[in-house]
Amino acid sequence: MIHPPKKAEQLDRAPDTRTLPPAFDPAYVEGVVKPFFLSSKYEGEPPLLPMIDVALSKEAAIPPHIFGMLYDNWTPNMDEEGVTVFLRGYEKRGPNNERKRIYFSAVTPDLYGPMYSDKIKHFLDYLFDDQNEGKPLMQRYYQRYFDMYWDLHLGVRGEDIPPEVK
């Protein structure tokens, strides 16, 4: 179900953000808060046919408030800064969804044990260590995310990770 604005005049009016705390970053308000107020959510049945049409592209298919975790200024910049295969439109993934197939070929269950389980366990041991009790979990997660990423994908750890990517 689509939840439209309550009144027709709300369609043409920018969201009122005057009541937000003044400490909110203006880029955050423009890139996240306003688009959130303008968004709607469709709730309905999934497509009946098990196929993906280009009309259902996944290009930048995440809520605006997530872009700030991926891109500067809350604005997607996929061509210059890169993009995960899960946010790349189907029509840009190569023939027969090739890029996603390549990704999934590396994460099959038979590879998890020998290739990834020790690395994930190491990351989770750090995350849930007693020294982190009572501290914001996501801060610890983000502090070590790139360490885990480089270890998982390239087997590079610690000082071997280039400082410019951290």
Give the residue extent of every domain in the chain.
8-91, 109-165
Higher per-residue confidence, 19 vs 57:
19
- Residues 147, 162: contact at Cβ < 8 Å? no
CB atoms within 10 A of CB 88: 21
With a pLDDT cut of 70, the percent of the chain lying above it is 81
pLDDT tier, 54 (very low <50, low <70, confident <90, very high otherwise): low
- 131, pLDDT greater than 90: yes
Mean pLDDT of the 12-41 span? 78
pLDDT tier, 1 (very low <50, low <70, confident <90, very high otherwise): very low
Q: Tens of pLDDT along 57-74?
A: 778 777 777 777 777 777
